[in-house]
Amino acid sequence: MKLIIASCILAAAGFASAQSRSSFLDVDVISDIVVNVSNGGLTQEVVVGANPTFTYDSQVYTIADLFGFWNLSDDDDLSVVNQATGVWTTTNNNAGGGGIAGWKTNPNTGLTPNTSYTFNFDSLNYASVEGTGFHVRIDGTFPGTNGNTGYITAVPEPGTMIALGAGIAALAARRRKKA
């Protein structure tokens, strides 16, 4: 009986620490972190500039280091194959609404200001990716917690969404014209 209880506690603890799409705080702006995507979405270079920050509820938070990077889908499962690389381990999850696909490491081994790292997927349905998320440590208290770490993703501005929609419509019209 004790073995069953211990197993349930360990399983619950493991589930509680798992990241999912709902783990990410939608922030207003992420500044000085760029993700350069190439190779059809399979190669993604994360570049952390000199002064990385994010803004949430009109408050600017300085990012000390970034130790998790994910592609996010709000409503689709992400079909993905990726491998551990250096100090970075894979973390993929399709639990709940949407999916995440990426890597994490321990604080103090991630990316600090003025550094970059290139991540490579073996396969990824990049058409289903709707955003990018990061696990960061800040100088201060992370919003809604008593600690200094948390998961963030930027919510696209309405103007960005309009431009994206116009681009998709133009591509669809072009395809219809060619057919």
Query: pLDDT by residue (tens digit) across 67-88?
Result: 999 999 999 999 999 999 999 9
Domain assignment present for residue 63? The answer is yes
Domain assignment present for residue 146? The answer is yes
Domain assignment present for residue 1? The answer is no
Q: Which of 29, 28, 36, 98 is nearest to 69 (CA)?
A: 36
Contacts 24+ apart (CB under 8 A), 140-145: 140/61, 140/62, 142/61, 143/25, 143/56, 143/57, 143/59, 143/61, 144/25
Domain assignment present for residue 10? The answer is no
Higher local confidence (pLDDT), 18 or 10:
18
Say if residue 170's pLDDT is above 80. no
pLDDT-derived band at 96 (thresholds 50, 70, 90) equals confident
Higher local confidence (pLDDT), 47 or 179:
47
The per-residue pLDDT for 19 is 82
Query: How, if at all, do strands 149-154 and 25-27 pair?
Result: parallel
Domain assignment present for residue 149? The answer is yes
| Count of domains for the chain | 1
Domain assignment present for residue 85? The answer is yes
Query: How, if at all, do strands 131-138 and 99-104 pair?
Result: unpaired
The mean of the pLDDT values for the chain is 84
Domain assignment of residue 28, given as a range? 20-178
The per-residue pLDDT for 75 is 92
pTM above 0.85, yes or no: no
Domain assignment present for residue 81? The answer is yes
User: Mean of the pLDDT values across residues 20-31?
Assistant: 95
pLDDT digits (tens, 9 = 90+) for 43-71: 999 999 999 999 999 999 999 999 999 99
Higher local confidence (pLDDT), 15 or 80:
80
Domain assignment present for residue 77? The answer is yes
pLDDT digits (tens, 9 = 90+) for 138-160: 999 999 999 999 999 998 654 44
